[in-house]
Each structure stands twice: as C-alpha cells, then as structure tokens.
Amino acid sequence: MSCEPEIAQAVRDRGRRLTIQRAKILSALRHADEHQSAEQILDRVRGDDPLADISLSTVYRTLETATTLQLTSELRGASGTAVYEWAEPGTTHHHIECTACGHTEVVELTSLRLAEAEIRERAGFEADIRHLAIPGLCRDCRPGGDG
C-alpha cells in the first residue's frame, strides 16, 4: 500500500535498519483498524503472505523498537496480553479500563497535558502520556451504580 514508503522512511530516518520483517509487521499494524496483540499481528502478516515466516520474538522486538521510536504505542492492560496500535503523529488518546469487567473506552484527556508539564517541572522527566491505560470502574461496575 501507499504508506509503506513512509514507514520505511520513518524507520531509516531514526537510524534503524529496514528489514522485511519490520516492514511487514509495521504495515500490518498500520492497516489494522483497532489495537492488536503480538499474536494477532503475526496472524495478519501470515495472512498476507503465508510464506512469511516471522517469529513471535521478532514481532515483540519490532514493536518494542517502534514504540521507542514513537511509531507505535503499547498498552498493557489488566487482560494480561499487551496490545499495540499505530501512533499517528501528533495524536493523543487515553484508554480507560474497568478493572472489574474489563470494558475499555477511549478518551482524549486534555488535563494530562498539565500532568506532562507538572512532571517536567517537578522531576525533570519528559513524560510520554500520549497513550496511556488508566484503571478504574465503569458506570456499571462502580459502587454508586448506574446513576
């Protein structure tokens, strides 16, 4: 697809090598319409090309690298399985996950911008809160109930 050169460029611009494994893995995630686990990504890659024999280790390593490069983001929720999504540059969103029923919603929280600033001032850290999983209780599960 047309965005593959962009992916290639993005990887190389950051001083990493573009391997066919990386190209396929990142392209699969780029074109998925929702977040994917490592195994799901591997299935997609194999679906596109059954001869592509990429190891699961490589999927994990590629996603780790790409997350460092801010091309993707990683979410480790309570489910026990980490999921990954393509991080469209300049976009921000946050996942809130019900610790009781597992239901998740996506919200963009403007107040977290303030948190980034506060962290910079107080600790000198450059926090990355573009994509974060926040635990909580959803409307249906919280003590107060529905209302």
Partner DNA sequence: AATCCTGCTGCGAACATTCGCAGCAGCGAA
Partner DNA sequence: TTCGCTGCTGCGAATGTTCGCAGCAGGATT
Question: What minimum distance in Å lies between the beta carbon of 136 and DNA?
Answer: 17
Among positions 4, 30, 32, 37, the unique one binding DNA when judged by CB under 7 A: 37
Tokens (6 digits) for 13: 């611009």
Query: Which partner, a second copy, DNA, none, binds residue 129 by CB below 5 to 8 Å per kind?
Result: a second copy
Q: Which residue, 86, 91, 90, 61, is CA-closest to 71?
A: 86
At 64, give phi and psi (nearest 5°): -65, -50
Query: Torsion over CA of 125, 126, 132 and 134, rounded to 10 degrees?
Result: 30
Which of 82, 103, 102 lies closest to 37, judged by CA?
82
**Shortest distance (Å) from residue 88 CB to DNA:** 22
Q: How far is the CB of 91 from DNA (least distance, A)?
A: 23
Tell me how far apart the alpha carbons of residues 131 and 28 are, in angstroms, rounded to a whole number: 20
The piece of 9-17, 97-105, 111-119, 126-134 that touches DNA (CB under 7 A) is 9-17
* Site for a second copy contains 101 (CB under 8 A): no
In DSSP terms, 85 is beta-bridged to 73
Residues in touch with a second copy (CB under 8 A): 68, 76, 96, 98-99, 105, 107, 109-112, 114-115, 117-119, 122-129, 132, 134-139, 142, 144
